[in-house]
Amino acid sequence: MAKAVRFRDSYAQYEQLVADIKAHKFAPIYLLMGEEGYFVDSLVELLENNLLEEHERAFNQLVVYGKDTDEGTIINYARQMPMMGGRMVIIVKDAASLKKIDTLSLYTASPAPTTVLVVACKGKSVDKRTTFYKHSLAKGVVFESSKPYDNELAPWLAGYIKRTKGCTIEEKALKMVTDHMGTDIAKIINEFDKLLTRLPEGTKTITADHIEQNIGISKEYNNFELIEAVARKQFAKALRIADYFGRNQKSNPMVVTISTLFGYFQKLFIINYKAWQTRVKGLPPVSDAELAGLLKVSPFMLGGYKQAAALYPNKKIFVILGYIREYDMKSKGIGGGGAEPGELLRELLMKIMML
């Protein structure tokens, strides 16, 4: 079985492809595929705008859609000679709709030296056992775009903002965005592109205020603040946030809050477990840098996690994780008795903080 491509690896390849395309280093075949559609669309757009000069595109660049064409037609187009020299460019969008995509191997077995064929399968991946995939890998470029896991998104986004925009972003602001928007990279990048046009000139750090004012995510009522309240056992604050979430479920879905709480207590469990290994098993203490790496958090946030871990020893965390699973089921209509999400969240928080 082929090894799954990790998000960080696909993004590293994406950046390399962007650099190659801008440097006019082209391959005869591009197979662009995978679940994360943003990077596939971005590469297709970049190729559309760079493979040919603008005045050449009307004659030698053809864009077709998988649902409106077939493999034989694509092969015929790819074998045509370009007009007035240069190269022929065939871009197949929505290629996942092709019924027999492996038929393209009749062309990719011997691609024309004057043609660049771009096959974009956004949202799906081509079977890696097919001859077409193997030809594309051997004679061209295969890019597989994978979606990030929740714990990969924040580090990637912070790095993206720093590399492409020259700004840093506060930890709270970062958490507000990733909690609110999930792993929809296209939506996140679109919102940040709009945000950066509205910031005062010379802004170097994106703050929670910037996020609230420009993206509309409350800096007071969000999962970051809820976790802070739980970590410090601030009952009143946690229940205020739960009440707000209950009245604003569309922008604060229960499933996201449940996932955030579960991930948080998993991190506290790891901290306590590592301390137990040192105390009881005699293993060397884990450095802060190692611990931050294990938790996949910024080292600057580690102090807060350690303080919370002291309030929630693992014997309590075992019970809490059980509560979270229970209320996850209730929020999905299993054993909840028809209670509203806000009511369920208040119950869960009370059980956690009174333990």
pLDDT tens string 168-189 = 999 889 888 887 777 788 888 8
Report residue 103 as tokens.
């038929």
- pLDDT at residue 336 tops 80: no
Q: Give the chain's domains with CATH numbers.
A: 7-145 (3.40.50.300), 150-215 (1.10.8.60), 231-354 (1.20.272.10)
Whether pLDDT at 209 is above 50: yes
* Residue 317 tokens, joined: 């965390």
Tokens of 128: 């890696």
**pTM of whole model > 0.85?**
no
Angle formed at CA 226 by CA 155 and CA 150, multiple of 5 degrees: 30
Q: How far apart are CA 299 and CA 297, in angstroms?
A: 6
Choose between 1 and 186: higher pLDDT: 186
User: Contact at 8 Å (CB) between 206 and 161?
Assistant: yes
Higher-pLDDT residue of 171, 62: 62
Portion of the chain with pLDDT greater than 70, in percent:
99
pLDDT of 67 higher than 60: yes
What stretch of H or E contains 11? helix 7-22
**Tokens representing residue 10 in the block:** 């696909």
Would you state the pLDDT for residue 226?
94
Rounded CA-CA distance 120/112 in Å is 19
Decide if pLDDT at 156 tops 90.
no
Mind spelling out the 3-state secondary structure of 296-332? CCCHHHHHHHHHHHHHCCHHHHHHHHHHHHHHHHHHC
69 CB contacts (<8 Å, ≥6 apart)?
92, 98
DSSP at 333? T
pLDDT, residue 131, reads: 97
Gap between the Cα atoms of 244 and 330, Å rounded: 19
What digits encode the pLDDT tens for the residues 102-138?
Answer: 999 999 999 999 999 999 999 999 999 999 999 999 9
- d(C-alpha 249, C-alpha 31), whole Å: 40
1: confidence class by pLDDT, cuts 50, 70, 90? very low
Q: What is the mean pLDDT of residues 139-166?
A: 86
What is the rounded average pLDDT of the residues 244-250? 90
